[in-house]
Structure 1
Amino acid sequence: MIIVRLSDGLGNQMFQYAFGRALSTRRGVPLRLDVSAYRVERKRRYELHHFLTEETFVTDEEAHRVITRPHSPDEPWWSQPVVREPHFHYSPDVVQVSSAGYFAGYWQSERHFDDVAPLIRLEFTPKQPLTGANLEVARAIAARNAVSLHVRRGDYICDPKVNILHGVCSLEYYRAAVAYVAARVEKPEFFVFTDDPDWTRTKLKLDFPAYLVTQNQDAPVEDLRLMTLCRHHIIANSSFSWWGAWLGEKPGQIVCAPQRWFGAYPHDTRDLVPDRWTRLDG
């Protein structure tokens, strides 16, 4: 049994689930989700129930059985009952993990699940159909050479600890990314997704048609779904828009991502952004 601890927002939950789903599929064992973090979490909530995911929650008895299984302290990290992500970048040793373990980490690289990518894309299909304003936006996206553009601020600005960890993408990054796309895409039109519409409306000025999507402040899954419908993507330093680009992958797609993903912390992000995407200073 593979048990994966889920934590933080939607994008992080998706990476954690995809990692666990890939492991359980390779090993032919059940996947269980530990959502206990959301019993005390005030700012985030469990969001994967919106998708066609294998949604089975671990029981206390199952977790105890896995965590306390006999093992030697001399075993390598990937063979321990509780496996903690050793560093931010991908480790090839992770493919050697046991078929029974509790996994805690962020696991932010498609290399963890690229061998089951079709399954992950299928299971991250929203259960409910598009309706109302979102259906209208989806129709507009389909009728245009649509580019999603994500401005992530929110806790990146308001929470001092998160601000130090992540920082925010600069206006210079967005200008460079828009110019990069515009030089390669005929008549691009930009669909802007943000958790700070007032700032974005005031500060982000584009010389191209742009539409600010504001109706989903309490429904991140709907913004994510609309992002995936766009042909090209300008993402923020955010796992949320990472998934918008990855799930929406299309032939000839352009994805611009910031070169600097974190602020003061020197995490190695070499495996976070796929080589087929373009990283720009930001």
Structure 2
Amino acid sequence: MQYKIVQLTCGLGNQMFQYAFAKSLEYHLQIPILLDKSWYEAEYAMHFGLDIFKIDLPYVTREQMDDVKEKINYFEKKPKIIRSILKRFGFPRSTSSSAFEYRAEYLKPNSFIYFKGFFQNPLYFQSISSQINKILCPPPH
């Protein structure tokens, strides 16, 4: 897989952290990072607001998302022992992270292809904080 995907969810503050994490992934892994905003297509979802900034990461296409879902579903349907073996061989999988948790392995080459979480730990984007500050600067009135 030549790219990784970061899910965008919830309000604008969470979207900003998720975007900062995605930019950090791009910086550290030097591969394309795509944003998934499909959560906002649900009837109950909040307003997507990240577009008020000059974000420069592309959004995932339906075809790319279908491909990723197929790989993740294949992995998740296997018994635990098989999943453990597949992990060791780098089989593509997804991850879910809690709000302030920091997992350094996310920013290193890994088999994760889909990232869900809030990524609110500044350690994720400390090496590109000046770039993030410029991108996520409030727009003029």
- Which structure has more relative contact order (CA 8 Å, sep 6+)? It is 2
Give the CA RMSD over aligned residues. 2.7
User: Which structure 2 segments of 5+ residues have no match?
Assistant: 76-81
- Contact 1:79/1:98 (<8 A) preserved: no
- Percent identity, aligned pairs only, is 30
- 1:34 Cα deviation from its structure 2 partner: 0.8
Corresponding position of 2:78 = none
Equivalences, count? 128
User: Which structure 1 segments of 5+ residues have no match?
Assistant: 131-282
Q: Answer with 1 or 2: which has the greater Rg.
A: 1
Corresponding position of 2:110 = 98
3-state SS of 1:107 partner: coil
2:23 aligned residue (17, 21, 24): 21
Q: State the alpha-carbon separation in 2 of the partners of residues 82 and 106 from structure 1.
A: 14
Partner deviation per Cα, 1:161-180 (whole Å, 9 max, x = no partner): xxxxxxxxxxxxxxxxxxxx
2:95 aligned residue (77, 83, 88): 83
* Pair 52,101 (structure 1): closer, same or farther in 2 beyond 3 Å: same
TM-score normalised by length of structure 2: 0.76
Which consecutive aligned stretches of 4+ in structure 1 deviate over 4 angstroms post-superposition? Answer: 69-72
Corresponding position of 2:13 = 11
In the TM superposition, 1:62-141 aligns within 5 A as: 62-67=64-69, 68=71, 73-74=83-84, 75=87, 80-85=92-97, 88-98=100-110, 101-126=113-138, 128-130=139-141
Amino acid of the residue matched to residue 45 of structure 1? Answer: H
TM-score normalised by length of structure 1: 0.40
Amino acid of the residue matched to residue 25 of structure 2? Answer: L
Give the structure with the higher percent helix.
2
Partner deviation per Cα, 1:243-278 (whole Å, 9 max, x = no partner): xxxxxxxxxxxxxxxxxxxxxxxxxxxxxxxxxxxx
